[in-house]
Amino acid sequence: MTTTVVVGGGTSGLAAGFTLERAGADYLVLEKRDFAGGRIYGTTRDGFTLDLGAQFFMSRYHATFEIMRKLGIYDELTKFTEPAGVGFVRDNGIYPAYLSHSYNMRHPLGVLKFSALSGKGKVEAARSVAKLFSQAKKLDFDDPEKAIDLDSLSFAEYMNKHSLDEVLEYIFQPFASFLTLGGPEEISAAYGLALLWYILPGMFTTKKGIGYLADSLAGNVPNLRLNTCVSRIVLEDKRVKGVEIENGKKKEFIECDNVICSTPAGQAAVLLPDLPASMTDVLAGIRYSACVHVMLATKRKYLGKLVAIAAPRRDGLCSPGFLDSANKHPSYAPPGAGIIHAFTYSDYAREMLDMDDAEVQARVTRDIQRVIPEFTDEPLFCEIFRWPQAVCLSSPGQIADVRRLKAGLREYRGLHLVGEYFGMPSVEAAIHTGVQAAERILE
């Protein structure tokens, strides 16, 4: 009998497996796909490093940095090339803002000079940032309940209450959509503000791309079985009995004392039919954005020194902006070359999930050319990856729902649910909840 089965070998499942491995515990991680890492997924092609899922770590990712120390890869961590500018588009102009601690410390009133906004807009944006600082103590990716009073409002409602429509539409909407691939109405104020608080001091990657974290974790979790799809987590008398695996016509049952279920919430609802509907309904109701992620390698750079350009939704582009990975760190691309990422979002992404690759590439290229008219029609190559579930949206009310779910789970012996949706959705929350569940079992 295996003591602990971890269902899912994404970031949270691998973090749990790694913690159990280090403690010498008995465990098995089961992953349905032929690769581990889930939504942290990296690869290389023709001298370019491609981050197909998660793009960066933010400066307050404590659990992430701690696990990198334990893996011995902390030295690979690197800040985005300074000063990490993001250009905000307004009426055909591109106005840079900087996501860098050193830049913002040197220019604390930079927002008052931000010419994408009217005079009144600048003052209101500065007030929003000041208000953000006053809420900072509540904004914790690893402990979302601290911000429960900001959970029932959407980020858009909060910004409309405390700022101008202009500031929402030209700054906070593109920002929120870039990071969540949804709209500011779809995420809670707690999540939107936490994202802002976490990103302001800067962004990080590793010199080998974000995928290096998943590869390093997987390399240190020897009891990992790929191509193994769990079909049910079996509970009896409110305790874990084991997991069922279906492989074509073959069925297997693995008996165990503990299960750490690290799949996205909707899948967890299906895997756990023995839980009452009051709990599975919460899981099934957790919302995710979708994304058709398009990467275009180019002979030259098109964003200058900017790491990204963010466009407002009223411009009707299928991506909230474009990012050049070559400006994350020089190791991402051959000298002088660029690698543009377009993240299709909201309804655009859902419509494009079934489009063929040539159509997707043509649509995205057209949209890039609306912002950068000289952008090439002939990239060195184009990679497309589809994420039907991209980022958990932490919609209004989710923190309260997850709190109720957690309370219910305490009645079940040996059952642990982990993943981004238990924190403020991010790599950080995935790692934190995975490590926490493993530590609870070890106790």
Ligand X SMILES: Cc1cc2nc3c(=O)[nH]c(=O)nc-3n(C[C@H](O)[C@H](O)[C@H](O)COP(=O)(O)OP(=O)(O)OC[C@H]3O[C@@H](n4cnc5c(N)ncnc54)[C@H](O)[C@@H]3O)c2cc1C
Residues in contact with ligand X by the rule CB under 6 A:
7-13, 30-33, 38-40, 53-56, 229-230, 262-264, 267, 271, 291, 293, 343, 387, 390-391, 419-420, 425-428, 430
Of 154 and 319, CB closest to ligand X: 319
91 SS3 class? coil
Of 379 and 419, CB closest to ligand X: 419
- 308-310 and 85-90 as β-strands: parallel, antiparallel, unpaired? parallel
Please provide residue 39's backbone torsions phi and psi, each rounded to the nearest 5 degrees: -85, 5
Of 124 and 383, CB closest to ligand X: 383
Taking the complex as a whole, the smallest distance from the CB of residue 124 to ligand X amounts, in Å, to 28
Q: Give the number of other CB atoms < 10 A from CB of residue 246.
A: 13
Taking the complex as a whole, the smallest distance from the CB of residue 431 to ligand X amounts, in Å, to 8
Taking the complex as a whole, the smallest distance from the CB of residue 55 to ligand X amounts, in Å, to 4
Here the tokens at position 214 are 């998943």
Distance CA 336, CA 244 (A): 51
Here the tokens at position 147 are 């911000």
Which ranges in 136-264 belong to alpha helices (H)?
A: 155-162, 165-167, 173-180, 189-199, 211-219
Of 99 and 126, CB closest to ligand X: 99
Of 10 and 414, CB closest to ligand X: 10
Taking the complex as a whole, the smallest distance from the CB of residue 130 to ligand X amounts, in Å, to 26
> 166-196 burial string, b = 16+ CB within 10 Å, else e?
bbbbbbbbbbbbbbbbbbbebbbbbbbbbbb
Taking the complex as a whole, the smallest distance from the CB of residue 217 to ligand X amounts, in Å, to 10
Of 127 and 385, CB closest to ligand X: 385
Q: For residue 8, with 0-12 CB atoms within 10 Å meaning exposed, 13-18 middle and 19 or more buried, which class applies?
A: buried
Taking the complex as a whole, the smallest distance from the CB of residue 210 to ligand X amounts, in Å, to 7
Give the residue closest to ligand X by C-beta.
10
Q: What single letter denotes the amino acid at residue 203?
A: M
Of 164 and 269, CB closest to ligand X: 269
Taking the complex as a whole, the smallest distance from the CB of residue 59 to ligand X amounts, in Å, to 12
Taking the complex as a whole, the smallest distance from the CB of residue 206 to ligand X amounts, in Å, to 13
Which residues lie closer than 8 Å to 149 by C-beta, 6 or more apart? 138
Which residues lie closer than 8 Å to 233 by C-beta, 6 or more apart? 7, 240, 243, 259, 261, 271, 272, 274, 415
CA-angle at 139, arms to 136 and 140, nearest 5°: 130
Of 414 and 425, CB closest to ligand X: 425
Nearest C-alpha neighbor of 213 from the set 17, 329, 64: 64
